[in-house]
């Protein structure tokens, strides 16, 4: 997997469905992660295309993790249609996200596993 110091390049690679990682985040082309936290993913549809879902880890979305996670969400939201932003509680209830993160250290790629 390629490495970059620029998280914007990771976001761009995610949108192009390519693999890359930085110190804080990574993408396998299918999902964008901030540490262990899935920020966004491409969900394939029956037409052979994909819809990009962005999980709303922002203060306004009532799922604030930390400022960098919020920044990633804002960057992705500017690249996707508004209706593709998913509230975290809705994502948990529909099974898209396993659980609601608690505490700002959840997304820290250097923290111990919870």
- Kindly tell me if the per-residue pLDDT of 112 is higher than 60: no
- Take residue 9 and report the two structure tokens written for it: 């390049």
Residue 70 neighbours by CB distance under 10 Å:
18
Q: pTM score > 0.95 for this model?
A: no
Residue 102 predicted with pLDDT over 80: no
Exposed e or buried b for every residue in 36-60, given b needs 16+ CB within 10 A? ebbbbbbeeeeeeeeebbbbbbbee
Closest by CA position to 66, among listed 28, 96, 106, 25? 106
Q: How far is residue 54 from each of residues 1, 11, 33, 111, measured CA to CA in Å?
A: 23, 12, 11, 23
pLDDT above 90 for 59:
yes
Q: Where does the pLDDT of residue 98 fall: very low under 50, low under 70, confident under 90, or very high at 90 and above? A: confident
pLDDT of residue 103: 54
Structure tokens at 16: 């192009």
């Amino acid at each position: 997997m390629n490495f970059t110091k620029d998280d914007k390049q990771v976001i761009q690679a995610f949108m192009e469905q390519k693999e890359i990682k930085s110190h804080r985040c990574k993408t396998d082309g299918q999902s964008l992660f901030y540490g262990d936290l899935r920020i966004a993913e491409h969900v394939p549809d029956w037409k052979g295309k994909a819809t990009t879902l962005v999980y709303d880890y922002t203060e306004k979305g009532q799922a604030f993790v930390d400022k960098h996670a919020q920044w990633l969400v804002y960057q992705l939201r500017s690249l996707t249609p508004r209706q593709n932003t998913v509230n975290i509680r809705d994502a948990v209830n529909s099974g898209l996200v396993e659980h609601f993160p608690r505490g700002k250290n959840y997304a820290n790629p250097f923290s111990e596993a919870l």
